[in-house]
Every structure is written in structure tokens, then in C-alpha cells.
Amino acid sequence: MRAAFISDIHGNLEALEVVFKYIDEQGIDKIYCLGDVVGYGPNPNECVDLVRERCSVVLMGNHDYAAIGRANIDYFNEYARRAAYWTMEQLSDENHAYLTSLPFTHQNDEIIMLHASPTNPRHWYYVLSQNEAKIEMNAFIQPLCFIGHSHVPVIFSKSQMFREEVFICDPDEKYIVNVGSAGQPRDGNSKSCFAVYDDEERKIEYIRLKYNIQKTHKKIIKAGLPPFLAERLLKGY
């Protein structure tokens, strides 16, 4: 079975539509969303509608949590706070209720998935370094943990960090896999990013897709959101 893991869509409808088109064309079996469907971007309701329809599992992200009024957003930067308040006002009652219902984790014998930190999925810690990843691996027993949150695609084992586009998992190893961001990449590459996992080949493949960034850029400006949120999409930071 092949499964797509998407995260950090952030209200970017143009990126999400391209991602789903690719998934359909490739005949990928399941789609899992690791959170942050909303926040930053101009189409929160449309993105929630799509993931509700298409994804087998959708998890809670910190910007989803903020949009339903549950998170303390004092730690958000100025742009994120403004976008969070704007998103709160835009969400339909139905989508607000849906986001409120999202779980923080989902797991089976092989995989655990969540938005940010395995040690505490209800707090939004980042896993950015090898040392942090090694500590986080004590929090789960499965061989694979899929996360988002940092918007940077990377794979950690207990002893190494990998940035390969295609990666074959060692059956005797444990991994944390950051799937990158579908809607706001921050690794210097503006293309939408997500991961596909083939459980027969134990293969993780990162997919990068062009989308109509200029259209999303114009929407952000027109909505009155901070221009910085539009500009960062062009550079992928």
C-alpha cells in the first residue's frame, strides 16, 4: 500500500489542489493529513472542505488549534497572530466544529503520526536536530513516526539525519519523518512538499510540485493578510 502524508497546508488552496491531483494520478491508496490545514493562507474553509472529503485521517495542528480559540497565541509572531485572528473570523460554524473534533495522534503497529512532538502532541515542540530526535524516539514504539510543524522535510534515525528525495528504511531502525509543508515550504524551495510511503518496499519518497503561487500571493494581499505571508511563498522560507 502507498500512503501520502501531507501537512501544513495553511489555507493554500492552489497548492492543495495540485497535491490531490498528483495523488489521484498516481493511484495512491490513502491520504493522511498531519495538521495545520488553516492559518496564514487565504482559503481556510475550502482547504478544510477538501481534507474532510479526501483524507482518511486528519490531525490537529497548532494553527488549527488557534483557529478554534483553544491555543495561547501569545507565542505566535505578529504575522501568525494576525492570520490566526483573521482565520477565526472566516471559518464557517461547520468547519469550526470539524476542527474542534480533530485528534492529536493516530497510530497502528507500524506508524504513529502527529503534528509536532511525539513526547507531548498537545504541545507544539519542534524536532529540528539529531539530539532532539533521539530524545523524541523514546516516546513511541513504532518504527516510523510521521510529523510536520517545522515545514522542513527531513528524516531522522537514532544516529543520523537524512535529506534524500528517496529513502529506503532499514527494518531494524526507528525513524522520525518530517513530511515538509504542502502549503508553505520553508526549506528554500517554493514547490509544495509532501511524502509518500510504500509499506511493501519500505520506501519514503518526497514529492515536490509547482503550483500557481502568484494566484495565492494575490489572494493573500486581497484578503488583507500581512504581505510578508505572500512574499515568503515565492522564496520558500
Q: Residue 181 belongs to a domain with what CATH number?
A: 3.60.21.10
DSSP state of 104: S
Pairing of strands 111-114, 166-168: unpaired
Q: What pLDDT is recorded for position 75?
A: 87
For residues 92 and 39, give the distance between their C-alpha atoms in angstroms, rounded to a whole number.
14
Q: What pLDDT is recorded for position 8?
A: 99
For residues 220 and 214, give the distance between their C-alpha atoms in angstroms, rounded to a whole number.
10
Return the residue matching grid coordinates 509543508: 181
For residues 137 and 174, give the distance between their C-alpha atoms in angstroms, rounded to a whole number.
8
**Domain extent at residue 7:** 2-235
Which phi and psi (to 5°) does residue 122 adopt? Answer: -90, 0
Q: What pLDDT is recorded for position 97?
A: 98
Tallying the residues shown for the chain, one arrives at 237
Q: What pLDDT is recorded for position 233?
A: 98
C-alpha cell at 206: 518526497
Query: Cα 200 from chain centroid?
Result: 24
Q: What pLDDT is recorded for position 95?
A: 98
- pTM for this structure? 0.98
Segment 75-109, tens digit of pLDDT = 899 999 999 999 999 999 999 999 999 999 999 99
Task: Give the residues of the chain that fall short of pLDDT 70.
Answer: none
Domain count, the chain: 1
